[in-house]
């Protein structure tokens, strides 16, 4: 998806990040009543991890619309909807539910998947086209009532911010890890270790990134560098592709009010701990790969209470 990625003071961001890179720590905001599990639970008789792939597709035959835009609501119970629109001007998708609003950029002629991350209820979707400057007009607007099959459903599938398919290199790499993992927790650790070892923070990108930037997980993996959004997108793509519910979180980190991106993943296993982070049973666990991959200490991350979650994808 195309959330507007803001860096209002890139120089401050740059300086702060150098000073406060730190190891990740755990905390969680609880989720309950979910029927979509992570991968294969505790593993099969041989002790291997049973990965499960959940796809997300735009179904043109189910889409409705007007004004050059189409919206597909055929899979809302699975936690997502799709949009396809055509324009020579910049376009955006706006999602409204109760007091929450999400805004994404939309590429012309490219079907795009967006999550329904605000739970059950009525969603209003607006497809907007640029009319010059910062002015947009409505191409198409529609509403739908959503009843999710699981509270985890939006977080086990690809979307515009975790853009992958079965043919993606990052998915193939994750599948190798899942094939050798003894449990879902072992698989998460393998992905975590892989990203920490293979992806370094890209300070040049951080100083030049523009509004509307969205990562390509395969590119992040192949180049071995990225900013916080890249870390979070790659981790979510690899974990989700093997059935681990994973959020991409945008928000602020105290004490310096750093706008940042990180992950949370869900597990129902018994808790386990490594040197780098721990997993709480039946809870969302915070994983900040940007800080962890750059080899500092845990003083800044603390117990996770200094994180303010604003957007989740």
Ordered domains of the chain (ranges, CATH)? 10-51+159-312 (3.10.620.30), 60-155 (2.60.40.10)
pLDDT of residue 107: 96
Cβ neighbours for 174, distance < 8 A, ≥ 6 positions apart = 191, 237, 238, 239, 241, 242
pLDDT band at 287 (very low <50, low <70, confident <90, very high): low
Burial 187-226 (b: 16+ CB within 10 A, else e): bbbbbbebbbebbebbeeebeebeeebbbbbbebbeeebb
pLDDT at 250 over 70: yes
Mean pLDDT of 108-112: 97
Is it the case that residue 146 has pLDDT exceeding 70? yes
User: For 189-213, what is the mean pLDDT?
Assistant: 87
pLDDT band at residue 11 using 50, 70 and 90 as cut-offs: very low
Check whether 137 has a pLDDT greater than 50: yes
Residue 32 pLDDT level (bands cut at 50, 70, 90): very low
pLDDT of 207: 87
Residue 154 near residue 118, CB atoms below 8 Å: no
Token look-up 């629109």 returns: 85
Q: Tell me: pLDDT of 292 over 70.
A: no
CB 153 within 8 A of CB 52: no
Mean pLDDT for 282-303 is 52
Task: Please determine, for residue 95, whether its predicted confidence score (pLDDT) is greater than 60.
Answer: yes
Report pLDDT for 199: 87
DSSP 18: H
CB-based contacts of 252, cutoff 8 Å, min separation 6: 258, 259, 260, 307, 308, 310
- Give the 3-state secondary structure of residue 155: helix
Q: What is the mean pLDDT of the chain?
A: 79
Q: Which of 32-46, 70-84, 189-203, 257-271 has the lowest mean pLDDT?
A: 32-46
**Can you say how many angstroms the Cα of residue 43 is from the centroid of all Cα atoms in its chain?**
25
Check pLDDT > 70 for residue 150: yes
Contact in structure between 29 and 284 (CB atoms under 8 Å): yes
Helix 184-198, helix 169-180: angle, nearest 10: 130
Strand partners, 143: 124
Per-residue pLDDT at 276 exceeds 60: no
With a pLDDT cut of 90, the percent of the chain lying above it is 53
Asked if 191 and 238 touch (Cβ cutoff 8 Å), the reply is: yes
Is the pLDDT confidence value at 170 over 90?
yes
Flag whether the pTM goes above 0.95. Answer: no
Residue among 254, 212, 245, 250 nearest 229 (CA): 250
Distances (CA, A) of 103 to 5, 50, 111, 140: 11, 35, 16, 15
DSSP 108: T
In angstroms, the CA 163 to CA 173 distance is 15
Per-residue pLDDT, 255: 63
The residue ranges of DSSP E strands in the chain, in sequence order, are: 64-66, 69-72, 80-85, 91-97, 100-106, 112-115, 121-132, 135-146, 200-201, 225-226, 246-253, 258-267, 272-273, 278-279, 283-287, 307-312
Higher pLDDT: 40 or 114? It is 114
More confident residue, 293 or 16: 293
Calpha distance 67→60 (Å, rounded): 16
């Amino acid at each position: 998806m195309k959330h507007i990625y803001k860096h209002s003071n890139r120089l401050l961001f740059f300086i702060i990040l150098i000073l406060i890179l730190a190891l990740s720590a755990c905390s969680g905001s609880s989720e309950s009543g979910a029927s979509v599990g992570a991968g294969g639970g505790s593993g099969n008789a041989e002790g291997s991890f049973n990965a499960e792939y959940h796809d997300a597709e735009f179904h043109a035959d189910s889409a409705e619309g007007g004004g050059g835009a189409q919206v597909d609501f055929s899979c809302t119970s699975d936690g997502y909807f799709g949009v396809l629109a055509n324009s020579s001007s910049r376009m955006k998708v706006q999602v409204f539910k109760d007091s929450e609003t999400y805004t994404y950029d939309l590429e012309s002629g490219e079907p795009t998947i967006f999550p329904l991350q605000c739970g059950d209820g009525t969603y209003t979707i607006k497809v907007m086209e640029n009319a010059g400057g910062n002015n947009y007009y409505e191409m198409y607007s529609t509403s739908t009532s959503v009843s999710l099959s699981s509270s985890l459903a939006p977080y086990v599938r690809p979307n515009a911010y975790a853009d992958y398919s079965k043919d993606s290199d990052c998915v193939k790499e994750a599948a190798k890890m899942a094939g050798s993992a003894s449990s879902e927790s072992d698989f998460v650790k393998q992905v975590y270790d892989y990203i920490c070892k293979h992806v370094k923070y890209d300070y040049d990108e951080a100083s030049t990134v523009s509004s509307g930037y969205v990562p390509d997980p395969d590119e992040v993996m192949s180049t071995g560098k990225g900013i916080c959004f890249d870390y979070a997108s790659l981790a979510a793509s690899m974990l989700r592709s093997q059935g681990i519910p994973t959020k991409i979180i945008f928000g602020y980190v105290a004490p310096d009010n750093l706008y940042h991106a990180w992950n949370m993943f869900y597990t129902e296993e018994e808790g386990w701990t490594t040197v780098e982070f721990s997993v709480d049973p039946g809870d969302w666990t915070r994983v900040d790969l940007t800080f962890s991959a750059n080899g500092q200490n845990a003083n800044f991350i603390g117990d996770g209470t200094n994180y303010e979650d604003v957007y989740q994808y």
